[in-house]
Amino acid sequence: MGKLLDLKRLMSVPKERNRRRRQRQIRARNGSIDSVAKRKGSLCQQVANSDGERRTRYSGPNLPEDIWCHIHSLMPFKDAARAACVSHAFRRSWQHRPNLIFCIGTLGLDFINKIDRIIKNHSGIGIKSLQLEYDTFCNARRSASISYHLNNWLQIAVTPWIEELILTLSLSSYNVDYNFPCSLLSDGRGSSLRHLYLGSCFFHPTVNLELRNLTRLHLVTVHITGDEFGCLLSNSYALERLELKYCYGIICLKIPCLLQRLSHLEVFECRMLQAIENKAPNLCSFDLGARQVRLLLGESLQMKTLSLDYPSAVYYARAELPSNVPNLEILTICSDHEMVDTPMLPSKFFYLKCLTIDLAWRLSPAYDYFSLISFLDASPSLETFCLEISQDRMENELIIGDMSHMRQMLEHRHDNLQSVEIIGFCYTKSLIELTCHILDNTTSLKHLKLDTTRDVFSCSTGKHDKCFHMGKDMLTEAKKAVLAIETYIEPKVPSTVMLNVVKPCNRCHVAES
């Protein structure tokens, strides 16, 4: 019996040694942790686990709440949500989140209650950006009450600290009569606003609006009169970008001279618009898409980029623009009703480097493309010329093999022109004459692209498995254009010019021919 007890005692010695070794390691570890904790102060806290061992955990610095809110605002949205689930400090910072974005795609059909809950729990302090997107087509039952909710949300969110406000009611909301509460932007509440975007609503601003820091104004399908818009601009001294689309209430658009910083103006499909008068001295870029509009640009000496899209734009651009925009560098013209040929005038675009002319399908069949030489002759610095044609009916069809009566203007040189592209190239005689003229009078030319397919989707680009369908008539026109190029154009192309002829694809269009 004594021998058995001695054997048990001997077997327990290693276990006792291991236990004591673990205790020494724990004491050593706790000692080092204690010293670290003393050095770092409140960064480390000691806790005891179920085994009685002392461990530490990071509790974070004792920072002011506004610092936690700022850190939270810098996180990506998903990371910020995860942090709020495990941190009381971050959870509270949601109430000060500076950027709020709400749209039907992310919140579902019951998004009104969710937005209500989020915005009402927000302190309203620190909101820098608010974006509300509402689709009444998907929420027809809610449309009647949307005005009430929108006013409540804006009342909380629009504070003297807000910098961006985007309110978008979808284009299907034409039956929603929402009147934006302009009073929210008065009494200093809109003084910090830098970007205002309104879509599909009524907007009737008054003289009390304070938008002295507004740099960008974007109105889409907004019901506003010309006088109301003028009142709005009179208080927007810092405005740099102005964009108007589908604003049918404006008849005369006047840009006052007090807008010294305005550099970009875009007006598109304001159908009641009859005249645009600009007095802003530093306007650099102007994009107009409208019906026939009277343009009073004044002397826009800073204008560098201009895009005009309306009937008879080609004639207007050549006859009146050079004296108004003498420093223009990029000009884009789109016209769908050009009935008169381009006139030869002595006025010049001395600094024009890039010219794009887009002639749509309603162009007169008898239009003389050769008259476009007037633009080339008026642009001694021109480097890039692009002509896009979408014309179905042709007159003066060229008879292949007949080179008689081909017009030439050898005294007109274009020594800076390097790249020419003609999309929708057809076999009309005047267009072939224009192309030959460029080849004969341009020594600097490097690239010439002639596209007979009207720039349709092509499998040759690698982006599409099959070319876009071309009707039988369109395919016949393209084949005639290719024959005209081979007969009249290719013999004139020098070896220094890279010629690219885009033809109908034999693989995709074999069944259509």
Q: What are phi and psi of 254, to 5 degrees?
A: -115, 120
pLDDT (tens place) for every residue of the chain, 513 residues total: 554 445 445 455 455 656 666 665 555 555 544 443 444 444 344 444 444 544 444 455 666 666 766 676 677 766 766 766 666 666 666 566 677 787 765 555 567 777 777 777 766 566 788 898 877 555 555 555 678 888 888 988 888 889 999 999 875 544 557 899 998 888 888 889 999 999 989 999 877 788 999 999 999 999 999 999 999 998 899 999 999 999 999 999 999 999 999 999 999 999 999 999 999 999 999 999 998 899 998 878 899 999 999 888 998 999 889 988 999 999 999 987 777 788 888 899 999 999 999 987 667 777 889 999 999 999 999 999 999 998 655 555 555 556 667 887 877 789 999 999 999 998 888 999 999 999 999 999 999 999 988 766 666 555 666 776 677 777 888 888 999 999 999 999 999 999 999 888 776 665 454
Q: Yes or no: say if 115 and 153 are a contact pair by the CB < 8 Å rule.
A: yes
Beta-carbon contacts of residue 385 (< 8 Å; ≥ 6 apart): 355, 356, 376, 417, 419, 420, 421, 438
Q: List Cα–Cα distances, 398 to 194, 395, 402, 439, in angstroms.
A: 58, 9, 8, 19
Q: Yes or no: say if 249 and 224 are a contact pair by the CB < 8 Å rule.
A: yes
Q: Yes or no: say if 356 and 331 are a contact pair by the CB < 8 Å rule.
A: yes
Q: N- to C-terminal Cα distance for the chain?
A: 111
Paired tokens of 229: 């818009």
Every domain of the chain and the residues it spans: 304-396+406-512
pTM above 0.85, yes or no: no
